């Protein structure tokens, strides 16, 4: 029996921490980064490290709660460049994540994709993190690298100027309105997408208007505990109209979330808590895992509409992380993309300062390549939400793509490997699945060659 708690906020132990930040805000900066999630923390650290005066502004008090706890192995390279891998490894903080497991709507538990079977390097092992701790590491790192970092400071307005001195209005920690001038503005405000909303350049995918209901549980069944490596599980409900995530955390608790279409999840039903437990009856894998668990803390709800932006940079500004685009979280690509875009944008900004060129072309010079990587995640998300499509059936016919699929789950979409080639065969397979002609189509594809001993 799962014990449910009355909604309550858990007090974070960090509330006792002394804030590391800055006391004096200057009136003018080379670069102002708005939002201190993984994207903003990364950009600010790397721009400041290159010697450009940088201001990082976060509206909430750090550390602050955030959803998005399961990382992709490819985060390693940006974290390494930032110099924070040792802090993240610090004993007991975060559970190692060694793979991803999918559980079908019929309750069949697939063999997990273990990352290190594909790539034995340590970088193929990643983490499940509490985002308040993870993002605080990046915030503090930006301070250490020389950025002026202010939490509890909210940007209320941005006025772009033709003379390259953009005016940012903010409300500071004392509640006073003040203005700061920036040569470059980085929008890292996450789903708030401050610039994209102001310029109305947000493009929402009408097919992926999802919502999530989630909470935290103690006493759930786990494969390991603490630092022992565990997988993230993705479990479909019986009719495939929804799925649960199951993310084991370093403090012994587990993050469990239900994702489905926004309207079917939140409209014309009971409370989110009722819906969360109701759907669990349709998901035997989650029910079993939580059989002896106790819910800790409140039931949380988030809208998660997938979107992109029609323009990603312009003279004097650039978008990063979720402010650039949001992809459905089923493959846990969000933090990886936030770090990656933060890194690529920082390089473009630093180069722009060296060249004296802060044009749209310069600040957005990385976005074409970045888009190619994102498009592969989008395709994979599309496959997951195609009810008629079965990854297992596809893989039976095309076992040669197991490595490519694992590459995608690792986040290896930039660089030498070419996992996108898998879609040459997956795209028509999906289309035939949708058309109801998959059996005929599959019969035309030769069976894979048996491996010879
Ligand atoms: C339900 C759900 C589950 C998810 N699960 C995963 C997962 O398992 N793994 C994963 O990798 N990703 C996951 N994601 C995605 C992930 O959370 C995001 O992609 C990631 O946090 C993006 O980082 P970011 O830095 O762009 O934005 P954020 O982390 O959202 O940071 C933006 C910051 O900007 C601040 N801000 C906003 N407006 C202002 C303002 N006006 N002034 C000052 N500051 C401001 C906010 O307070 C916030 O701290 C999930 C997302 C959702 C919705």
Mind listing the pLDDT tens digit for each residue in 285-320? 999 999 999 999 899 999 989 999 999 999 999 999
Residue 41 Cα to ligand 1 middle (Å): 12
* Phi, psi (degrees; rounded to nearest 5) at 286: -75, -40
Contact predicate 254/248, CB 8 Å: yes
Long-range CB pairs of 326-329, under 8 A, 24+ apart, other chains included: 326/191, 327/374, 327/377, 327/378, 327/381, 328/208, 328/210, 328/259, 328/304, 328/381, 328/384, 328/385, 329/68, 329/212, 329/245, 329/259, 329/304
For the residues 174-199, what does the mean pLDDT come to? 97
Amino acid 1: pLDDT: 47
For the residues 126-150, what does the mean pLDDT come to? 97
Which residues lie closer than 8 Å to 421 by C-beta, 6 or more apart? Answer: 404
Q: Which residue has the higher pLDDT, 14 or 199?
A: 199
For the chain, the helix, strand and coil percentages under 3-state DSSP, each to the nearest 5: 40, 25, 35
Angle at the Cα of 309 from the Cα atoms of 341 and 330, rounded to 5 degrees: 65
* Residue of 190, 209, 212, 242 best suited for mutating to test ligand 1, as the one with most atoms within 8 Å of CB: 190
Residues with beta carbon inside 6 Å of ligand 1? 34-40, 57-60, 64, 66-71, 154-155, 188-190, 192, 194, 212, 257, 302, 304, 321-323, 329, 332, 334-336, 338
pLDDT-based confidence at 93, cuts 50/70/90? confident
Q: Which residue has the higher pLDDT, 447 or 50?
A: 50
Count of alpha carbons within 13 angstroms of residue 96, beta-carbon side: 16
Residue 189 Cα to ligand 1 middle (Å): 8
- Counting atoms of ligand 1 from 1, which one is nearest the CA of 41? 25
* Phi, psi (degrees; rounded to nearest 5) at 84: -115, 5
* Residue of 170, 192, 319, 409 best suited for mutating to test ligand 1, as the one with most atoms within 8 Å of CB: 192
294-309 and 202-218: which strand pairing? antiparallel
Q: What is the pTM of this model?
A: 0.94
Res 251 pLDDT > 50: yes
Res 10 pLDDT > 50: no
Q: State the Cα–Cα distance between residues 152 and 146, nearest whole angstrom.
A: 19
* Residue of 334, 337, 381 best suited for mutating to test ligand 1, as the one with most atoms within 8 Å of CB: 334
- Counting atoms of ligand 1 from 1, which one is nearest the CA of 39? 25
Residue 37 Cα to ligand 1 middle (Å): 6
* Phi, psi (degrees; rounded to nearest 5) at 215: -160, -170
Weakest-pLDDT range from 11-25, 31-45, 206-220, 411-425: 11-25
Residue 272 Cα to ligand 1 middle (Å): 21
Q: State the Cα–Cα distance between residues 342 and 250, nearest whole angstrom.
A: 26
Which residue's C-alpha comes closest to atom 14 of ligand 1?
Answer: 68
Domains identified in the chain and CATH numbers: 96-126+206-306 (3.30.9.100)
Amino acid 320: pLDDT: 98
Q: State the Cα–Cα distance between residues 188 and 312, nearest whole angstrom.
A: 12
* Residue of 34, 35, 38, 211 best suited for mutating to test ligand 1, as the one with most atoms within 8 Å of CB: 35
pLDDT-based confidence at 107, cuts 50/70/90? very high
For the residues 365-393, what does the mean pLDDT come to? 95
Q: What is the mean pLDDT of the chain?
A: 92
Start-to-end C-alpha separation, the chain: 50
Res 452 pLDDT > 70: no
């Amino acid at each position: 029996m799962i014990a449910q708690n009355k909604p309550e906020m858990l007090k974070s132990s960090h509330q006792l921490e002394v804030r590391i930040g800055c006391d004096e805000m200057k009136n003018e900066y080379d670069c102002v980064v708005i939002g201190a999630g993984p994207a903003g923390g990364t950009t600010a650290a790397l721009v400041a490290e290159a010697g450009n005066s940088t201001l990082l502004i976060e509206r909430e008090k750090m550390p602050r709660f955030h959803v998005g706890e399961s990382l992709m192995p490819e985060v390693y390279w940006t974290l390494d460049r930032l110099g924070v891998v040792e802090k993240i490894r610090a004993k007991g903080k975060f559970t190692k994540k060694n793979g991803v497991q999918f559980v079908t709507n019929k309750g069949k538990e697939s063999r997990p994709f273990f990352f290190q079977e594909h790539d034995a390097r340590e970088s193929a092992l990643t983490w499940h993190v509490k985002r308040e701790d993870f993002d605080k590491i990046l915030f503090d790192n930006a301070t250490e690298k020389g950025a002026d970092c202010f939490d509890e400071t909210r940007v209320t307005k941005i006025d772009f100027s033709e003379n390259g001195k953009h005016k940012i209005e903010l409300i500071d920690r004392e509640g006073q309105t003040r203005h700061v001038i920036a040569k470059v503005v980085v929008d890292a405000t996450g789903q708030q997408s401050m610039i994209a909303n102001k310029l109305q350049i947000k493009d929402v995918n009408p097919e992926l208007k999802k919502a999530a209901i989630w909470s935290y549980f103690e006493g759930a069944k786990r494969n390991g505990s603490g630092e022992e490596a565990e997988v993230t599980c993705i479990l479909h409900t019986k009719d495939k109209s929804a799925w649960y995530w199951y993310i084991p955390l370093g403090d012994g608790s587990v993050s469990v979330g239900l994702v489905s279409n926004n309207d079917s999840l939140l409209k014309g039903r009971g409370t989110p808590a009722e819906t969360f437990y109701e759907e669990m009856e349709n998901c035997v894998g989650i029910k079993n895992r939580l059989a002896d668990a106790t819910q800790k803390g409140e039931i949380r709800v988030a809208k998660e509409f997938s979107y992109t932006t029609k323009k990603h940079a312009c003279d004097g500004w650039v978008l990063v992380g979720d402010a650039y685009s949001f992809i459905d979280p089923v493959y846990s690509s969000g933090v990886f993309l936030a770090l990656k875009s933060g890194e690529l944008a920082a390089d473009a900004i630093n180069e722009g300062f060296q060249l004296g060129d802060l044009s749209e072309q310069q600040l957005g010079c990385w976005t074409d390549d970045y888009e190619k990587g994102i498009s592969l995640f989008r395709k994979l998300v599309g496959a997951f939400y195609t009810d008629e499509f079965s990854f297992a059936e596809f893989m039976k016919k095309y076992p040669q793509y197991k490595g490519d699929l694992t590459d995608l789950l690792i986040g290896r979409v930039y660089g030498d490997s070419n996992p996108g080639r898998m879609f040459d065969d997956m795209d028509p397979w999906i289309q035939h699945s949708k058309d109801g002609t998959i059996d005929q189509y599959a019969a035309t594809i030769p069976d894979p060659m048996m491996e010879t001993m």
